[in-house]
A and B are shown apart, each in its own frame.
Chain A
Amino acid sequence: MNSNVNIHETVSVCPICLKRLTASRVTEKGETRILKECSEHGIFSTPVWRGEPAIQNWNRPKTPSAPPVTDTTQQKGCPFDCGLCPDHNQHTCTTLVEITWRCDLNCKICFASAGNSEGDSKHKPLMRPDPTLAELKVLLKKVRKTAGPCNLQLSGGEPSVRDDLPQIATIAKELGFPFVQVNTNGMRVGRENGLAQIWADAGVDSAFLQFDGTRDDIYESIRGRALINDKMAAIKNLTDAGIGVVLVPTIVPNVNDDNIGEILKLAVAHSPGVRGVHFQPVSYFGRYPEPPSDNARITLPEIMTKLEDQTGGLVSKTDFMPPACEHALCSFHSNYMVMEDGKLKKLSGKGEPCCTPPTASEGADKSKAFVRRQWAAPATKDCGCNKPLDDLDRFIQRAKTHILAISGMAFQDAWTLDLERLRGCCIHVAAPDGKLIPFCAYNLTSMDGESLYRGKNA
């Protein structure tokens, strides 16, 4: 055996029949691939980590924490018992609730296949009627009971197509969800003056704004139309209303992977209204006649490296750290203070490992609190500029407003699914029947578009 090859055993599924398969995470020459073989459909090998920071140094061990309340039992084994089941290793940090399946865009890339007009009888678009306010209240009550006071993301479809979105945010706040975020493409809130303030007054803390780049050709390619003016209007309206904005680019090789640095610079220029940038490498859900090729994928370390390369060293790939909450291979993050001259001062220092791994739930609690604080608008507009300050005061004052969080999260599809990662997931979708399903399991589809969970329960 070649000593330069590192093999880590895990479990995955067949991308064609979704049967559970043993799999290996094979690392060789700076590249890690998920390798698996289905007796019926053959061998699948897919890159999941390429380049630096090296996977060997990218870990953050956690002692598993089973969910406090589970809704299913272990019967068929992971990933077929989600609800959550007692075999899950992490609490809920964020719950996504899909409040509509309608959308005012028709993107090539969409987790929910929302508003997708394509489809034959087997692959019908999910054009279900919106859940009513009463139904949503029942659902949110159940989530609040099982997941506790987690952060809540109202998603879709495009949630802003609902005129009663403010009422839904208010219901969520009344039920004790401390942080309510809207996952939006920004079109409506950018075009309708006053709407963002209505959302803010109703309890919306943050917008998870689809923001794929700073150029219109990027939107034309991914979203089917030029949108940069809508995006900029959305940023203005949301920040003016006191809603924290997180820019969320889906990164697609050869479409916008050359624009990563510009996206970050735009975020810096719009700090403190823009609270963070959350990069998402493209993943493949829905129907694909062929497995996506290696060059149709981009991995987290490649995004970290491009962040350094495309910003002239505004940030460094060595700044980034694995998460405290979800599985280490699922995300990276670092936090910065935006200085008066537009430079970034790294805040998230790397402490030396000192002790036994913390429990996963401790990481989830920290992460929940961080998101609540960082992704909402700053608590104060006081920059302390008029008071006499020393260095420490100046630092503390600036930190109250000008912190920017840079992060990235890799979603898993049928090719890249690694059940060790899935069991550590803290981002859960509330299915219409109230069961909590890890995000990547909920959106998982076989190569011919068949879902594992979405649309399978009431």
Chain B
Amino acid sequence: MSTLKVIDEDYSSWKCSACGKALTPTPIELEYLESKFTVELPACPECGLVLIPEDLALGKMAEVESLLEDK
């Protein structure tokens, strides 16, 4: 699958607390129960730590998780 933006908000003002570097939009592979989705998320260019905004985690990601889970 191609890499696509899932968040519109600008997170460039966020810094990685461990490395002090500004987070940059980075292609990230999300994997859950054997399904993979490549999406663009803010990540630290130094250590790779990814920020997953709360509304994404509780919104679309939660919905996708429940679709992938078994009955």
Interface residues of A (CB under 8 A from B): 321, 324, 333, 335, 345-351, 366-367, 369-370, 389-393, 395-396, 399
Contact with A along B26-65 (1 / 0, CB 8 A): 0000001111011100000000000000000000110110
Give Cα A106–Cα B48 distance, bound, in whole angstroms.
67
B37, A391: Cβ atoms under 8 Å?
A: yes
Give Cα A348–Cα B34 distance, bound, in whole angstroms.
9
Give Cα A367–Cα B64 distance, bound, in whole angstroms.
19
Residues of B contacting A350 with CB < 8 Å? 33-34, 70
Interface residues of B (CB under 8 A from A): 1-2, 4-6, 32-35, 37-39, 60-61, 63-64, 67-71
Report 24 cross-chain contacts, Cβ distance below 8 Å, ordered by A residue: A333-B71, A346-B35, A347-B35, A347-B68, A348-B68, A348-B69, A349-B34, A350-B34, A351-B33, A351-B70, A370-B71, A390-B39, A391-B37, A391-B38, A391-B39, A392-B37, A392-B39, A392-B60, A392-B61, A393-B60, A395-B67, A396-B60, A396-B64, A396-B67
Give Cα A370–Cα B71 distance, bound, in whole angstroms.
6
Q: Tell me the dominant secondary structure on chain B's binding face.
A: mixed
Identify the closest chain B residue to A60 (Cβ): B70
Closest CB of chain A to B44's CB: distance in Å? 22
Residues of A contacting B67 with CB < 8 Å? 347, 395-396, 399
B61, A348: Cβ atoms under 8 Å?
A: no
A349, B64: Cβ atoms under 8 Å?
A: no
B35, A349: Cβ atoms under 8 Å?
A: yes
Residues of B contacting A366 with CB < 8 Å? 71
Closest CB of chain A to B4's CB: distance in Å? 4
A346-B34, A392-B60 are known contacts; what are 20 more A-B pairs with Cβ within 8 Å?
A335-B70, A347-B35, A347-B67, A348-B69, A349-B32, A349-B68, A350-B34, A351-B33, A351-B70, A367-B71, A369-B71, A370-B71, A389-B4, A390-B4, A391-B2, A392-B6, A392-B37, A392-B39, A395-B64, A396-B63
Identify the closest chain A residue to B5 (Cβ): A390
Residues of B contacting A391 with CB < 8 Å? 1-2, 4, 6, 37-39
Residues of A contacting B38 with CB < 8 Å? 391
Given known pairs A321-B70, A351-B69, A367-B71, the reply for A392 and B35 (CB within 8 Å) is no
A349, B69: Cβ atoms under 8 Å?
A: yes
Give Cα A345–Cα B69 distance, bound, in whole angstroms.
13
Identify the closest chain A residue to B56 (Cβ): A392
Closest CB of chain B to A255's CB: distance in Å? 31
Give Cα A399–Cα B33 distance, bound, in whole angstroms.
16
Residues of B contacting A390 with CB < 8 Å? 4-6, 39
Give Cα A398–Cα B1 distance, bound, in whole angstroms.
15
Residues of A contacting B61 with CB < 8 Å? 392
Give Cα A8–Cα B67 distance, bound, in whole angstroms.
36
Q: Which of A345, A351, A369 contacts B35 (CB 8 A)?
A: A345
Closest CB of chain B to A362's CB: distance in Å? 11
Closest CB of chain B to A380's CB: distance in Å? 14
Residues of A contacting B6 with CB < 8 Å? 390-393
Identify the closest chain B residue to A399 (Cβ): B67
Give Cα A348–Cα B33 distance, bound, in whole angstroms.
8
Closest CB of chain A to B68's CB: distance in Å? 5
Residues of B contacting A389 with CB < 8 Å? 4
Give Cα A392–Cα B2 distance, bound, in whole angstroms.
11
Residues of B contacting A351 with CB < 8 Å? 33, 69-70
Residues of A contacting B60 with CB < 8 Å? 392-393, 396
Give Cα A91–Cα B42 distance, bound, in whole angstroms.
48
Residues of B contacting A395 with CB < 8 Å? 37, 64, 67
Residues of A contacting B70 with CB < 8 Å? 321, 324, 335, 348-351
Give Cα A396–Cα B2 distance, bound, in whole angstroms.
16
Give Cα A169–Cα B12 distance, bound, in whole angstroms.
58
Give Cα A367–Cα B70 distance, bound, in whole angstroms.
10
Give Cα A389–Cα B39 distance, bound, in whole angstroms.
12
Identify the closest chain B residue to A347 (Cβ): B68
Central interface residue in B35, B38, B60, B71, by most chain A CB within 10 Å: B71
Identify the closest chain A residue to B3 (Cβ): A391
Residues of A contacting B63 with CB < 8 Å? 392, 396
Residues of B contacting A367 with CB < 8 Å? 71
Closest CB of chain B to A403's CB: distance in Å? 8
Residues of A contacting B34 with CB < 8 Å? 346, 349-350
Residues of B contacting A347 with CB < 8 Å? 35, 67-68
Give Cα A390–Cα B70 distance, bound, in whole angstroms.
24
Residues of A contacting B4 with CB < 8 Å? 389-391
Identify the closest chain A residue to B38 (Cβ): A391
Give Cα A348–Cα B63 distance, bound, in whole angstroms.
14
- A-B pairs, 4 with minimum CB distance: A349-B33, A370-B71, A390-B4, A392-B60
Closest CB of chain B to A357's CB: distance in Å? 15
